[in-house]
Amino acid sequence: MTQTVNVIGAGLAGSEAAWQLANRGIQVKLFEMRPVKQTPAHHTDKFAELVCSNSLRANNLTNAVGVIKEEMRQMNSLIIQAADRCAVPAGGALAVDRHEFAGNVTEQIRNHPNIEVINEEVTKLPEGITIIASGPLTSPALAEEVRQLTGEDYLYFYDAAAPIVESDSIDMEKVYLKSRYDKGEAAYLNCPMNAEEFDRFYQALITAEVAPLKDFEKEMYFEGCMPIEVMAKRGEKTMLFGPLKPVGLEDPKTGKRPKAVIQLRQDNAAGTLYNIVGFQTHLKWGAQKEVLQLIPGLENVEIVRYGVMHRNTFINSPKVLSCTYQLKSQPTIFFAGQMTGVEGYVESAGSGLIAGINAAHLAKGDKPIRFPRETALGSMARYITEADPKGFQPMNINFGLFPDLGERIKSKAERAEKHANRALDALQQFKETTTI
């Protein structure tokens, strides 16, 4: 008889895992604590809520994260299908209307006959096969359970989220619509700065007041989600080669390249909201407004959501997990999502996809399967479980994911598609020769 599988957390990973299980005929109990108990970063009661950027990043085969998306499409991924349905213009990226997207995922999960949603906080692990997908903001009681289960000390660090502003409040005379190197449609609003404007903005940013960090938590940032003020303090060049990079963003009015450019990305389908790209911040709210108002075009900006910072919890995957996402010491327990140390919406969902498939195998009395190393999904699973466990750091979302595939794609950009196609062929062959 097949067993029921518990999934804890209806975020990107848990929703995908539940979907994969349910579509394989497995009964799923999906536990989600929101809205009974909120996390410090979520705002709604919807599943798969995107807490910061509304972009799922590159959507083409010349980028590793584009390859994993394509693999997930071919694996009937709930998250990627919903994203495709709710896409908003974003050049070569797959960005979504976050409310439509989360609404879509929630509806499909709630309407699935094999999924029972239980709105409560899990404080003790349930009996039976269980996928823990409670994310970087796992509630403290469950985090303690997991700590005891894995016998490992947790690593904590901070992540940051960027502010969202009203498009009505942007001075459209001063900004221009363009994607870098005119790739894809012109999807970004660009705020150009000359040397003087940049200098004023830069000085304000490095001297602005930062919200206090709690004593017991170590100040440690993810490179890919580093607060803008922390980056600025590393030197102005760090910003000019980072999120304020002007190359490929010449001002159409002058034909010239500004000293710096701040980009805004559409955040909802109606186009009434924009988020400030790469502008995660831990500045005090008043200071945030003052600094943003120094950006040309944003002098009268209305901020609908300020940048925030919060804790991130993850396990030492190379020590405790196998590449099937099972706990080595207790194979009926799976981990998925950011808890495993993957970072990013798509990567989290991708690990949920594999954990869901494997938990379904186990529930039916079959052996879990290992995705081939050649595929992006398999490459990611191997990386996080085969990395050096000493000082294990979650993966950086901006620097390409998969050390194998990701690096090959980056270093040999002109042959990227060939590498990507090899990954997709490997997946195809895997599907033809294995019962997935």
Ligand X SMILES: Cc1cc2nc3c(=O)[nH]c(=O)nc-3n(C[C@H](O)[C@H](O)[C@H](O)COP(=O)(O)OP(=O)(O)OC[C@H]3O[C@@H](n4cnc5c(N)ncnc54)[C@H](O)[C@@H]3O)c2cc1C
Footprint of ligand X (CB under 6 A): 8-14, 31-34, 39, 41-42, 51-53, 121-122, 133-139, 142, 159, 161, 225, 310, 337-339, 343-345, 348, 397
Could you tell me the smallest distance in angstroms from the CB atom of residue 120 to ligand X? 7
Closest CA to 149 of 358, 315, 9: 315
Count the alpha carbons within 13 Å of 58 in the hemisphere toward its beta carbon: 18
The residue number whose beta carbon is nearest to ligand X equals 11
Q: How many CA atoms lie within 13 A of 114 on its CB side?
A: 20
Q: In which element (H, E) is residue 115 found? A: strand 115-118
Could you tell me which residues are beta bridge partners of residue 155? 314
Q: Which is nearer to ligand X, 265 or 419 (CB)?
A: 265
List Cα–Cα distances, 37 to 8, 142, 320, 404, in angstroms: 14, 13, 29, 39
* Packing angle, helices 345-363 and 64-74, rounded to 10: 40
Cβ closest to ligand X, residue 324 vs residue 338: 338
Q: d(Cα 218, Cα 155) in Å, to the nearest integer?
A: 9
End-to-end CA distance of the chain: 19
Binding residues for FAD: 9-14
C-beta of 267 vs 374, nearer to ligand X: 267
Torsion over CA of 46, 52, 284 and 193, rounded to 10 degrees? -140
- Where in 241-394 does DSSP place strands (E)? 260-266, 273-276, 303-305, 308-314, 326-327, 330-335
Shortest distance, position 84 Cβ to ligand X, whole Å: 16
Binding site residue list: 9-14
CB-based contact 311:158 (threshold 8 Å): yes
Nearer to ligand X, 165 or 426 (CB): 165
Phi, psi of 335 (to 5 degrees): -120, 150
Q: Distance between CA atoms of 422 and 136, rounded to whole angstroms?
A: 33
Least Å distance, CB 43 to ligand X, is 11
DSSP 398: T
- Nearest approach, Cβ of 314 to ligand X (angstroms)? 9
Alpha carbon distance 265, 387 (integer Å): 34
Nearest residue (CB) to ligand X, 326 versus 338: 338
What's the DSSP call for residue 308? E
In this structure, the number of other CB atoms found within 10 A of the CB of residue 277 comes to 18
CB of 385 to ligand X, least distance (A): 16
CB of 96 to ligand X, least distance (A): 12
- Nearest distance in Å: CB 402, ligand X: 15
Are 331 and 362 within 8 A, CB to CB? yes
For the CB of residue 420, give the shortest distance to ligand X in the complex, in Å.
20
Maximum distance among all Cα pairs of the chain, rounded to whole angstroms: 71
By C-beta, is 53 or 179 nearer to ligand X?
53
Kindly tell me which of 280 and 375 has the beta carbon lying closer to ligand X: 280
**Are the C-beta atoms of 380 and 44 separated by less than 8 Å?**
no
Are residues 267 and 164 in contact, defined by beta-carbon separation less than 8 angstroms? Answer: yes
Specify the residue, 133 or 426, whose C-beta has the smaller distance to ligand X: 133
Residue 133 CB, shortest distance to ligand X, in Å, is: 5
Q: Toward ligand X, which CB reaches closer, 75 or 426?
A: 75
